């Protein structure tokens, strides 16, 4: 241990080991003090084995296979990350190029690239308000 980081890492590691041992020791101590120690553990294990005998071991082996494949799936994600980054970067660059084209072509570019603007959205019933206003104007012109 030559650096503060090495010392801190060592101390934290020892701290975690001591805390896990203390928790495990307390659980064992509490179980031993019971009139029938580990009775619930034995019953639970027996029920699990009975369930496995009745339903077969196929589902248990499927779970073991999934657990064994987990590191390889994680590795596939790690390998895929640079490709996802490259695709995202390419999409961003394409967006920046599109914005440059929009500026370059002026008004023609504005009609080619649509954008959503909350002021012009019809989410608040703006169409209905237009109908009501036009009906009100129609009634005023008749009277």
CA dist 91 and 139 (Å) reads 53
Percentage of the chain surpassing pLDDT 90?
Answer: 36
CA dist 12 and 19 (Å) reads 10
**Residues contacting residue 113 through CB under 8 Å, at least 6 positions apart:** 98, 102
CA dist 100 and 109 (Å) reads 9
Which pTM was predicted?
A: 0.35
Q: What is the chain's alpha carbon radius of gyration, rounded to the nearest angstrom? A: 34
Q: What is the pLDDT, as a whole number, of residue 139? A: 66
> Per-residue confidence at 76, pLDDT binned at 50, 70, 90?
very high
Query: Which pair of tokens denotes residue 82?
Result: 């640079």
Count of other CB atoms within 10 angstroms of residue 40 = 11
CA dist 100 and 123 (Å) reads 31
Query: Which pair of tokens denotes residue 42?
Result: 């034995």
């Amino acid at each position: 241990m030559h650096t503060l980081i090495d010392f801190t890492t060592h101390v934290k590691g020892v701290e975690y080991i001591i805390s896990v041992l203390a928790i495990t020791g307390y659980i064992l101590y509490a179980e031993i003090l019971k009139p029938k120690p580990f009775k619930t553990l034995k019953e639970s294990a027996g029920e699990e084995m009975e369930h496995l005998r009745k339903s077969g071991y196929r589902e248990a082996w499927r779970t073991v296979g999934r657990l064994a494949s987990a590191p390889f799936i994680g590795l596939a994600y790690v390998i895929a990350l640079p490709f996802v980054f490259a695709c995202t970067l390419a999409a961003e660059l394409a967006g920046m190029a599109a914005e440059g084209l929009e500026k370059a072509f002026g008004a023609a570019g504005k009609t080619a690239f649509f954008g959503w603007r909350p002021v012009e959205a019809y989410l608040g019933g703006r169409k209905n308000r237009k109908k009501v206003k036009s009906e009100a104007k129609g009634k005023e012109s008749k009277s």
